[in-house]
Structure 1
Amino acid sequence: MKEKCCCVALDYEAELREGGSCGEMSYTLPDGRTVMLGLERIRAPEILFKPEFIGRDHCGLHESVYKSILNSDLDLRRCFLGNILLSGGNTLLPGLPERLEAELSALVPHEPCSSVRVCSPSDRDYSVWCGGAVLANLPSFCGAWISQSEYDEYGPVVCSVSFDIFYWVKMRRDVQQ
């Protein structure tokens, strides 16, 4: 339903006042019933930018991206702002790339060289899987693999521990060479 019916408003408040440019749409549920959707089409994805709408006390997508960039090296921030790459199914919502770019642009201090650019490749719904497949096939990554029995014994924490050890050993090898 989300992928077929929802869209992200560039200006949420204006969309509410104007009744939503997405318009109304009918959707047939798996049980055969049909529902009419109006403003729900823009209200549902708005939680990506305003999680407080559903009682969550954390940052919206744009704020999380911006904070991540601010936590990076000062020399890289401009590069990161100009090369934001969307991936995953939720990024396919119509209007999301434009809204994210607008929200980030509003957060960035207006300097001549700090332009925000959000890239949204057409195959981004599978890009996370493709990246994982490439990573898993790198010979240098096989030391970070975790067996099913290790996961069953230690739980999710084994992922962090295993990767931290792998990364430390690899970095040490790189420094020695």
Structure 2
Amino acid sequence: RTSTKPLEQATAAAEAAIEDLRRELNGQREQLRLQASTSEGALVSLRKELLALQSEEVSSISEHLHRSASELTRSIQEVSSSVESMGNCLRSELRREAERLGNELELERAQAEQRSGLQEVRGSVVLKRLEAMEARMENLRPSSRIAETASGAELEARVGAL
């Protein structure tokens, strides 16, 4: 029996050591399970925070886009209004300029017609004088010996004196 006792003691000691190891393993397993659960809870919490931040960011971006779109629309309307206003001003200015040029042309035409009319009147007066001189010359030729004998220069001088 003595020889089995140390073996039994060694077996009992080994079983006790194995039991201690099992308890330690179970403790570590439980500790790992708790850590996993805590980590999982932290992950869930982080996911919620991340989703909340993303939601806030999306809302902020959406709000910024809405403001920017409103400002852009307002700016486009202002530019369109300015362009339309400038177009109206230019059209009015062009109409006034066209009217001014038309008036100037009308005045120039009237002056040209007046000058032309005066030239016609002058021309008709000159024509009448020439006709009268020709008639006088005709009258002088048959009745006057001067016309037959006088030189051309003397005739011109006499006609010019008439």
Q: Could you state the TM-score of these two structures normalised by the residue count of structure 2?
A: 0.17
* Between structures 1 and 2, the one with greater helix share: 2
Bigger Cα Rg: 2
Q: Per chain length, whose mean CA-contact separation is higher, i.e. which structure has more relative contact order (CA < 8 Å, sep 6+)?
A: 1
Q: Could you state the TM-score of these two structures normalised by the residue count of structure 1?
A: 0.16
* Between structures 1 and 2, the one with greater strand share: 1
